Structure 1
Amino acid sequence: MTEGAKPRRWTLRGAHTEYTVAVPEHGRWLELVAWGPHGVSDGPSPVEYTGPVPFLTAGDAAPVEYATDAVRPFTGADLVVETDTGDRRIALGYVDADGTEGRLAVTFADPVTGLRAVVHYEVPAGTDVVSRWVELTNTGSAPLRLVRAGTAGFCVPTPHGARLSYQWGQWAQEFQLDHVDLGHGGFTVGSAQGVPGHLYLPWLAIRDQTEPAGPTWGVALAWTGSWEISAERDTGGLTRVRAGRHLVDGPLDLPAGDRVTLPTVSGAYSPDGLDGLARVWHTYQRRLAGERLTPRPVLYNSWEATYFAVDAENQLALARIAADLGVETFVVDDGWFVGRDDDTGGLGDWTPDPAKFPAGFDAFVKEVRGLGMNFGLWVEPECVNPRSTLYAEHPDWVYAVEGRPLTPIRNQYLLDLGRPEVAEFVHSTVDGLLRRHDIGYLKWDFNRPRTEPGRVGPDRGAGLAAGGRIDLDGAHVANLHRIYEQLRRDHPHVLIEACAGGGARTDLAMAARADVFWPSDNTGPLDRLAIQYGFLHANAPHLLSSWVTDSPGLFDPRPRSLAFRFVLAMAGVLGIGADIRHWTPEQRAEAARWINRYKEIREIVMHGTVRLIGGPDQPRCAVQYTAPDDSTVVVLAWHTGRLDGAGLLPSRPVRLPLAGLDPASVYRHDAVRYSGSHLASVGLPVRWSAEHDAELVVLRRD
């Protein structure tokens, strides 16, 4: 962090970018000066406003970083605070600032109520991401209520209109990338489900409409509860993005002397469009993974082969074949515990079913490990079936509203993880499984949102601020994060896969705490291609768990080859979920060859620079991974559409333009050589046929 010539002005520098903010002379707010490549702040601010603002206030038009409703009463505040008398319009004033390299904290205070706000910034070393969060402290003598508790406002210059990119979805159709042009007015996405949800991803990208492949800004949220991101473009050409919590349970109480820290929101910048922005997020998430960014094992998951009909015999039959294929981790999914023959019972009673494992569960695990594989297990510890011992003993542990019926979803209720005793039960249950059994992989699922906004029982006030309401969403998320952190600390060898009926729990906070994401329950090949295309725009490949299965797509059931399914699953963390007992010897031999090829390239997939070529709705669809030392380029390509008379009419191969290569260097694929210039300007040729619908190409630089 460097201090500029003007007083109260600071610049935070990333690997290739800078973010400059300043406090104006009046001291009422902090505002953005410039955000972009190094040197962007050396000149007039691209977001500064000039001229009068009729019928508005100055703050309504200014590029304010964090605004109360006193600063932006008409165009959208980040923070709205109410006193115990119902008054609003709290006004903050600048107090001081403290910063070191890559970090900045700017303090504001309200002399009337005693509210103190510290606006934090951090640019992690080697990244082009600026992370922001706010600490609010009530230093006054009276309680306060946070009616709106957003974390940040990000300002983006869009003089010719804004193009917003977002990801929508539903169960089995997550991460669908779409775009909307915003001339004036607003756009909002979010979740009220207590999780990020299937409907939208807590991620947004913003560009000027005239430069779709040019400068692009992104905003993403590190919050695993209910959230909101909104963008509004004003008449002066500025698009302001607000991001933070969505207070589904009503205002947050902030008693005198208390402090609350609002969720982190991160902003990213790239000069190279959505594709470049994806690489910025990948770099950041790899840094979040830290020393846990190790090669992810090739896994087999038994769900689609046996569903709930789990027993030692059928699981071992699958495990023996999986081991022969080269699988490294065998995961037993739902159905292994007592009372779990379907989805109506068992959740909450996390004891291996002795009828399914007559020789003992540990003997079964030992036999799996004796095949040369690690062992993994599925759990859903935040949920409970009404038909379970846990619910019979603790009916008050679920979210409920006094006197109102419960809402079952998937025949289950949701445990109130914010209760200390429930959090202790969930942690001790999962920790106990990991200590008692030789488990190296944990798939943590979550198959229903929260519907009841309340707590019942004699200790319903646990965690309740004096005279106020319970922050159910915040308490659940805080304990979830803490449990994940404790498990990773105490069981560092165990990889944790985050799942929520597919991709409903995907955010930057989970990316920092889980090793892998399960993006969707839909494993159909062409459906999955679209899902993974969106996923890789916001998430790094080491987080992308993908299976080869026998499933047709729900939305596009066109058949695809086994090769297509393998090349598709190799775009991230390779897994198999098919019933391999029914594969022919030829299919098993082909699968073993693909697994061996994946093991040869997975370090590059995990650590390489990713470039997305075309898309699932285009004739060209591929992903390029370039090794960190530029010595090797891996290209995964898929045929997405018609063959257009291939073999019967004149045709030419599809060409995949590669990027980031040395134009003067030579790259070889088997006996074929290409110059870097040829691969960039003409492209790598791939020729599709009815039998050949996917390709893995490894180019070695001479």
Structure 2
Amino acid sequence: MSDPATGNIYERAAVRNATDAGEDTAPLAGPWTLRGVATEYTVVVPGHGRWLELVSWGPPGVAHGPSPASYTGPTPFLTAGDFAPVEYATDAVRPFTGADLVVETATGDRRVSWRYQQAETDGGQLRVTFADPVTGLRAAHCYRIPAGTDVVERWVELTNTGEAPLRLARAGSAGFCVPTPHGARLSYQWGQWAQEFQLAHLDLGHGQFSIGSSQGVPGHSFVPWLAVQDRAEPDGPTWGVALAWTGSWQIVAEPDTGGLTRVRVGRRLVDGGLDLPAGGGITLPVVAGAHSDAGLAGLARAWHRYQRQLAGDRLDRARPVLYNSWEATEFAVDADNQLALARIAAELGVETFVVDDGWFIGRHDDRGGLGDWTPDPVKFPAGFDAFIAQIRALGLTFGLWVEPESISPASRLYTEHPDWVYAIDDRPITPIRNQYLLDLGRPEAAEFVHSTLDGLLRRHDIGYLKWDFNRPRTESGRPGAATRLDLDGAHVANLHRIYAALRRDHPHVTIEACAAGGARTDLAMAAHADVFWPSDNTGPLDRLAIQHGFLHANAPHLLSSWVTDAVGLFDQRPRSLAFRFVLAMAGVLGIGADIRHWTPRQRAEAASWIGRYKQIREVITHGEVHLIGGPDQPRCAVQYTAPDGDTLVVLAWHTGRLDGHGLLPSRPVRLPLRGLATDDTWRHGDDTYSGSHLTAVGLPVRWTADHDAELFVLRRA
């Protein structure tokens, strides 16, 4: 057992807990507590030994008392497992209220059940193993809280030790139990292309809430993230779950009638059940659970700390200010127009220049070229390396857009390897954006993608890669396959392997994950990619709502944001260049406008904003984030507190109408800051404020038609 002060795992004295009515209530094993910075998670095996269950999940010491999740009373017309706070349940344990795992034998029988075998603690990881004596199925329930976080990672390792094959008809990764005695308040993010990460809330007293994706990627419609609160305390204790899986997924929340909401998280098996042969094993995707006593904003900070830990040493490298050429030239790429853009970008203080779609042979529009990743000699008549050298001579790192998993029907690659795409024998393939999708689970296709990207990075001086993915999977088939395949799982596994190989062999390259905007953002990608492209919509007020939702689930170092001339699709009210820059500074600053048409005054203003951003980006990247108000409120700002606590950066935006100001009596909007000591003194320019004033009253800002955004940098006096 470990010392609880170290923040890992320890075993408490026995406590009474939930079991079948009438059975021995003494625990068979445990309880075990995993501890984070400000969270503990305690589980136990009840005396009957049929499952592992939650004792408590919350602030330190929360387990010292009766479990808020336990129940030992009657369960009319249901089983005890249907009401117990079970951590991971087969359909034998929870036959009526939702199992996490459903296993079929070769004869079609279900209802696999198991009993406790052993528990192991090693290096801060807890493994509690159960086994089914009939089928030989073993399940290790695995837990870990990474150091410095308040996030518990959970996953299950299944092994078939029997002599007959098994099929997993459902293969969730975890069930989380949250006390909601007054009913559940759920927060989730919905969207569509160009309108991702829209934060919404739902009161769920009864019934079931489900979100997910069947597209082979997390998708635009929903984010694999959910927050749960008791309806009576919307600013109090908050629990969240998020999935580390870059394929199809599902999250289901369902309250019982006794004040407990259970959340099931895991893969959605769009290709049918998973085969588990005799002697075989499978590790299911990691699900992360987070807790905060400070509402959704506090939960966001818990996710931010965790994702920074996922980034590891890569977070020490500053994300560059970039320029991307897509909105300026689209497919009409050539050396001359790209160099014209790059020269201006360098003058503005941009650090990386990214050539987007249209640089390779056959790519004049979206009908050709994908798969034939050779620079077009017509577009780069002096040679591609000579072009890159000219970019580098301007002091810029060179970046390139790719979409390696897609293939154009008119490409040479498709002519040579038509069997490499997802297809069903004798059925037509569904084109989306005039392209098909490579079956990345096929070894030779995966090797092609890896060798293509690795080759580009080895042959050319490339320091930034924008990896795009512009279509979901429509066909669940591999031509000529003799057996049913887990296509979704194989695609995701090879995608992650390719990322890992590129990371190993090209550690200097920054990789941006994009999928027609924000359709591929999950915790697994947060561990592999440096930044996310959250949306193709760069209109200022549209983007403000997108980024507000994004920052609830993702850290600022993952937020790539551009300054463009776009007006937006949903809210076309005009906003200043300052608004667009302050908005893009909320994460990783980029520019995507056609800067050839900017006036000298606009270019000078842009250079000033870029210079200011470089002074604060370390605070943006590493600082503690407090979300103030929102895009639908008069107050809308984000506060970043530097790790040493001596600097505050506040980005603020005017969200309302811009007319009528100065005609009637009014007072400044106040932005209440968070996390400050009351007796501290803060300075902004010639103004000084107490921490008490900034917290209780707020930072004043007066919006006008010419002043619709502001960057504040406050220093501790």
Question: Does the TM-score normalized on the shorter chain lie above 0.5?
Answer: yes
Question: Counterpart amino acid of 1:385?
Answer: S
Residue of structure 1 in register with 2:599 after alignment:
584
Corresponding residue to 1:295 among 309, 313, 318: 318
- Asked if the contact 1:2/1:101 (under 8 Å) is kept, the reply is no
Q: Does 1:152 align with 2:174?
A: yes
Q: Does 1:2 align with 2:24?
A: no
Counting only pairs closer than 5 Å after superposition, residues 278-677 of structure 1 correspond to structure 2 as: 278-293=300-315, 294-457=317-480, 460-461=481-482, 468-643=483-658, 645-677=660-692
- Asked if the contact 2:208/2:253 (under 8 Å) is kept, the reply is yes
Q: Does 1:20 align with 2:49?
A: no
Once residues 40 and 645 of structure 1 are traced to their aligned partners in structure 2, the CA distance between those partners, rounded to angstroms, is 53
Map Cα deviations across residues 332-359 of structure 1 (whole Å, 9 max, x no partner): 0000000000000000000000000000
Shift of 1:470: 0.5
Residue of structure 1 in register with 2:54 after alignment:
32
SS at match of 1:240: strand
Q: Does 1:185 align with 2:207?
A: yes
SS at match of 2:307: helix
Which of structure 1's runs of 4+ aligned residues deviate more than 6 A?
none
Q: Does 1:250 align with 2:268?
A: no
Residue of structure 1 in register with 2:191 after alignment:
169
Shift of 1:663: 1.0
SS at match of 1:396: helix
Corresponding residue to 2:222 among 178, 187, 200: 200
Residue of structure 2 in register with 1:231 after alignment:
253
Question: Counterpart amino acid of 1:201?
Answer: V
Shift of 1:207: 0.2
- Asked if the contact 1:252/1:469 (under 8 Å) is kept, the reply is no
Once residues 70 and 145 of structure 2 are traced to their aligned partners in structure 1, the CA distance between those partners, rounded to angstroms, is 23
Q: Name the count of aligned residue pairs.
A: 694
Shift of 1:399: 0.2
- Asked if the contact 1:13/1:102 (under 8 Å) is kept, the reply is no
SS at match of 2:210: strand
- Asked if the contact 2:659/2:705 (under 8 Å) is kept, the reply is no
Gaps of 5+ in 1: 462-467
Residue of structure 1 in register with 2:711 after alignment:
696
Once residues 147 and 677 of structure 1 are traced to their aligned partners in structure 2, the CA distance between those partners, rounded to angstroms, is 57
Once residues 523 and 399 of structure 1 are traced to their aligned partners in structure 2, the CA distance between those partners, rounded to angstroms, is 32
Shift of 1:184: 1.1
SS at match of 2:663: coil
Map Cα deviations across residues 318-376 of structure 1 (whole Å, 9 max, x no partner): 00000000000000000000000000000000000000000000000000000001000
Corresponding residue to 1:87 among 94, 103, 109: 109
- Asked if the contact 2:640/2:648 (under 8 Å) is kept, the reply is yes
Residue of structure 1 in register with 2:294 after alignment:
272
Shift of 1:100: 3.1
Residue of structure 2 in register with 1:127 after alignment:
149
SS at match of 1:512: helix
Once residues 644 and 56 of structure 1 are traced to their aligned partners in structure 2, the CA distance between those partners, rounded to angstroms, is 61
Shift of 1:102: 2.8
Map Cα deviations across residues 136-160 of structure 1 (whole Å, 9 max, x no partner): 0110000000000000000000000
Question: Counterpart amino acid of 2:592?
Answer: G
Percentage identity across paired residues of the two chains: 79
Map Cα deviations across residues 121-173 of structure 1 (whole Å, 9 max, x no partner): 01000100000010101100000000000000000000000000000000000
Once residues 517 and 342 of structure 2 are traced to their aligned partners in structure 1, the CA distance between those partners, rounded to angstroms, is 24
Shift of 1:8: 2.3
Q: Kindly report the root-mean-square deviation, in angstroms, between the aligned alpha carbons of the 2 structures.
A: 0.7
SS at match of 2:423: coil
Shift of 1:646: 1.4
Q: Tell which deviates more after alignment, 101-110 or 424-433.
A: 101-110
Shift of 1:103: 1.3
Once residues 126 and 559 of structure 1 are traced to their aligned partners in structure 2, the CA distance between those partners, rounded to angstroms, is 43
Residue of structure 2 in register with 1:111 after alignment:
133
Once residues 50 and 135 of structure 1 are traced to their aligned partners in structure 2, the CA distance between those partners, rounded to angstroms, is 29
Question: Counterpart amino acid of 1:247?
Answer: L
Residue of structure 2 in register with 1:464 after alignment:
none
Once residues 644 and 552 of structure 1 are traced to their aligned partners in structure 2, the CA distance between those partners, rounded to angstroms, is 18
Q: Does 1:72 align with 2:102?
A: no
SS at match of 1:253: strand
Question: Counterpart amino acid of 1:376?
Answer: G
Residue of structure 2 in register with 1:465 after alignment:
none
Once residues 414 and 645 of structure 1 are traced to their aligned partners in structure 2, the CA distance between those partners, rounded to angstroms, is 53
Residue of structure 1 in register with 2:23 after alignment:
none
Shift of 1:401: 0.3
- Asked if the contact 1:348/1:384 (under 8 Å) is kept, the reply is yes
Shift of 1:469: 1.6
Shift of 1:645: 2.7
Once residues 485 and 249 of structure 2 are traced to their aligned partners in structure 1, the CA distance between those partners, rounded to angstroms, is 17
Once residues 187 and 50 of structure 1 are traced to their aligned partners in structure 2, the CA distance between those partners, rounded to angstroms, is 26
Once residues 701 and 550 of structure 1 are traced to their aligned partners in structure 2, the CA distance between those partners, rounded to angstroms, is 36
Shift of 1:647: 1.0
Shift of 1:101: 5.1
Once residues 417 and 100 of structure 1 are traced to their aligned partners in structure 2, the CA distance between those partners, rounded to angstroms, is 35
Shift of 1:643: 4.1
SS at match of 2:64: coil
Residue of structure 1 in register with 2:25 after alignment:
none
Question: Counterpart amino acid of 1:392?
Answer: T
